[in-house]
A and B are shown apart, each in its own frame.
Chain A
Amino acid sequence: MTVGLLVTCINDALFPDTGRAVVTLLRRLGVDVDFPAAQTCCGQPMVNTGYLDEAVPLLRNHLEAFAGYEAVVVPSGSCAGSVRHQHRLVAQRCGDPGLVRAVEQAPPAYELTEYLVDVLGVVDVGAYFPHRVTYHPTCHSLRMLRVGDRPRRLLEAVRGLRLVELPAADECCGFGGTFAVKNADTSVAMGSDKARHVRETQAEVLVAGDNSCLMHIGGILSRERSGVRVMHLAEVLASTEAVIDEPAQPTAGSAAASAEASRTDGPPRAPRPAGAIR
């Protein structure tokens, strides 16, 4: 059986490196991952703005695209939350019992870190990322999905990575989907405070599990010429001294060995220096 990657519409169009990182990472861990090309968007932007009817065709499309997969893996806390909590709402509201049943029978959706830690049982994914990093636990991962310390445990196991505490980490960055546009001033006020906390950590890289939040905070950090770069967690976890497409055993200390091996084996893509996935 194969897992289906729900890459999310934002990642697909704006951050394709995140999707590639998930593929690299999952293959390295021996997972058979597929990208159902029929997928589009989970419907969250419509639902959260109140356009429930407009989300119905997206829901139908999503259910068709992912039918038959063993599980759905999503590199976004927010979209995983949407699939798990909002799809039923949309189906119920449109009053089609068939659609409600289809939602109930859909394969389980996991946010990436849930899949790694709970399903694969891995914490050390064999990554190497020699940078000073701070982590923002986006609201939907934190409160809707309750991913808890899974992302932190994964990051702490990355070789070379120095994790620094982000002040007021669990406070919302102010992105909030269309909130960022409908209430732009408030959104930016919240994002500026978040960016200030990020700068206080003197981290080189801000990591999170949602590119939309990162696009917002990173957009402010970039406008402030702060020099801090933002990166999706998947890209950090996929980083090694070389990019490997061979499945590797995710045991501690094995990463260097597999990186070594992959060099001699000749990986299908040119090796890159650590952290250069993006």
Chain B
Amino acid sequence: MSELASESSTRRSARSAEVAPRAAAGGATFLGTPAFPIAAKAALADAQLRRNLAHATGTIRGKRAAVVAEVANWEELRLAGAALKDRTLRHLDTYLTQLETALTKAGATVHWARDAAEANRIVVDIARGHGTDEVVKVKSMATVEIGLNEALADAGITAWETDLAELIVQLGHDLPSHILVPAIHRNRSEVREIFLREMGRAGRPAPPDLTDNPADLAAAAREHLREKFLRAKVAVSGANFAVAETGTLAVVESEGNGRMCLTLPEVLISVVGIEKLVPTWADLDVFLQLLPRSSTGERMNPYTSMWSGVTPGDGPQEVHVVLLDNGRTDVLADEVGRQALRCIRCSACLNVCPVYERTGGHSYGSVYPGPIGAILTPMLRGVGHDEQVDSLPYASSLCGACFEVCPVRIDIPEVLVHLRSQVVDAHRGRPSLQGAAMKAASWMFGTSARTAAAEKLSGLGSRVLDRTVRRRAPGGRRALGSLPWPVSAWSDARDTPVPPPESFRAWWSRTDGGRR
């Protein structure tokens, strides 16, 4: 164990030195993360991380493809999902009021939170009101987004994550790196170490003879958590869906920890993003097909829990719903970008993204990593005032794999390009190498005469290079090796063909298109 432990603990400390495990005040990003290219460089150097990620995303990718192929009308379902979400978003105000009315009638208390601070204050006040110093939680992206655990800790209340992967992240003093599998960057021997080292400090210790067998690890987590479920008076959840018509909240999950959180404690507080709405009960039909197949590659989620308000003598006797905006109405105001609010957090786009697969979730420095994070985070936070946030729309090769799998057809590449233009516009007037290069290229390509003149220069250069360069690429063309800055960003790892002495344009005019 010692070798493995020391290897991975150096890695962990290297990572946590770059990433302070705390949500930023505005939510959605983590404090202290450098811009994407720098964070990615560090992640790329971590061979173990790349292996863990390639293995995990590859497995989920295969499972998803298989179960999606079983559905004959998958494309129709996607279209239906997108249309339903769009209609909901168009009339969001109406549906939200409808939801509030239905929930209140069912005995729940509805709270409105404009931002992270407001939402946190509401939850802290409720927990305090019950004199508790701990809450149990079922994994919720919205609460990570607002930094609820940190806010509770500041108020002297410990929040226990009860989802297996979330527990691994919490015990490892780590940050989540995936929407669905927050500990995807860990392999099982790393998990075993964390459990052995940390469980005792947080409650029931792991058995000393714990192996790295997944079933044993899950059993240790179950024992550790059971004690917390039975003790906690207050639980915090998110919701996958909120049905406006009936005032029903729904959570889907695989481990049963959600069901325990939703039923055992006396008080339940659900923090729900305002985009989680669907108008009617029947609409759930579409999403409960789209979500499990896209996310875990299952036909159905093992646990689907639904609740509306309070039922006397059954389940929590006090139910609070915090409806969270935190930048969502700003996203709604963006004509191209608003489609991101259709997202059902299935994580399919992360699992197919070649950039995510190699850099991992931490590189995005964001609660929402991967392709959806690269568009959602900049929109929630706003562009133009944080270098890290502004680097996110560029963290993509625009290959389009994310759009192809998205169950609600979010055209992520389109939104990425749209956000890039917002980033550029926000920086206009400030000098930058890239901006100057683009302006120069725009000028040069503005007329064919200028383009031809530039090509002539390159042709002259080519004649010189042809005499001086020795290296030849297969096929006979001369190639350039490593070049100085700024082209080094290209040439450090790739040979570059020496430009030809004659451009196509010049050849065409010299030979009259090959006729002379």
Contact = CB atoms under 8 A, between A and B. Distances in A.
Interface of A: 7, 9, 11-17, 19-20, 23-24, 33-35, 37-41, 43, 45-52, 54-55, 57-58, 61, 65, 86, 89, 93, 139-140, 142-144, 170-172, 174-192, 215-216, 218-223, 226-231, 245, 268-269, 278
Given A139-B400, A179-B394, A223-B494, A229 B417 contact: no
Most A-side CB within 10 Å, residue of B36, B473, B507: B473
B303 interface: no
A186 B359 contact: yes
B497 interface: yes
Interface residues of B, number: 70
Contact of B504 (A7, A172, A231): A7
A16 B500 contact: yes
A188 B494 contact: yes
Interface in B430-444: 434-435, 438-439, 441-442, 444
19 contacts: A15-B500, A16-B504, A20-B504, A41-B451, A49-B438, A50-B421, A50-B423, A54-B441, A61-B448, A171-B354, A171-B401, A178-B434, A184-B489, A185-B41, A189-B358, A218-B473, A219-B495, A222-B479, A268-B514
A176 B439 contact: no
Contacts of B509: 37
A39 B503 CA distance: 13
B404 interface: yes
Contacts of A43: 445
Contacts of B394: 178-179, 182-183
B493 A51 contact: no
A47 to B, nearest CB: 6
A143 B403 contact: yes
B401 A143 contact: yes
B446 A40 contact: yes
Contacts of A185: 37, 40-41, 44
B36 A183 contact: yes
Nearest to B395: A183
B400 A9 contact: no
Nearest to A188: B493
Majority SS of interface residues in chain B? helix
A40 B447 contact: yes
Interface string B442-465: 101111100100110010000000
B397 interface: yes
Most A-side CB within 10 Å, residue of B355, B424, B504: B504
B477 interface: yes
B490 interface: yes
B513 interface: yes
A13 B455 contact: yes
B7 interface: no
B489 A37 contact: no
A183 B354 contact: no
A134 to B, nearest CB: 14
Interface string B390-426: 0001111111110110000000000001011111110
B490 A49 contact: no
Contact of B399 (A9, A172, A216, A218): A172
Contacts of B354: 171-172, 174, 190
Contacts of A184: 37, 489-490, 492-493
Contacts of A12: 451, 455, 503-505
Contact of A222 (B447, B473, B515): B473
A35 B441 CA distance: 22
Contacts of A228: 474
Most B-side CB within 10 Å, residue of A40, A58, A182: A40
A258 B397 CA distance: 43
Contact of B495 (A61, A177, A222): A222
Contacts of B444: 40
B279 interface: no
A148 to B, nearest CB: 14
B445 A9 contact: yes
Contacts of A172: 354, 397, 399, 401
B513 A23 contact: yes
Given A184-B489, A219-B494, A222-B495, A229 B474 contact: yes
Interface string B47-72: 00000000000000000000000000
A216 B399 CA distance: 15
B397 A61 contact: no
Give 9 closest A-B pairs by Cβ, nearest first: A176-B397, A219-B494, A50-B420, A172-B399, A54-B442, A143-B400, A16-B504, A50-B424, A229-B475
A45 B496 CA distance: 19
B514 A20 contact: yes
Nearest to B393: A50
B384 to A, nearest CB: 12
Contacts of A171: 354, 401
B37 A183 contact: yes
Most B-side CB within 10 Å, residue of A61, A171, A172, A192: A172
A34 B403 contact: no
A40 B447 CA distance: 7
Contacts of A57: 442, 445-446
A141 to B, nearest CB: 11
Nearest to A217: B494
B469 to A, nearest CB: 13
A188 B495 CA distance: 12
B499 interface: yes
A213 B45 CA distance: 24
Contacts of A58: 442, 445-446
A180 B84 CA distance: 38
B502 interface: yes
A49 B439 CA distance: 12
B504 A49 contact: no
Contact of A174 (B36, B397, B425, B445): B397
B281 interface: no
A86 B411 CA distance: 14
B46 to A, nearest CB: 12
B508 interface: yes
A13 B458 contact: yes
A178 B499 CA distance: 19
Contacts of B514: 20, 23-24, 245, 268-269
B442 A9 contact: no
B420 A48 contact: yes
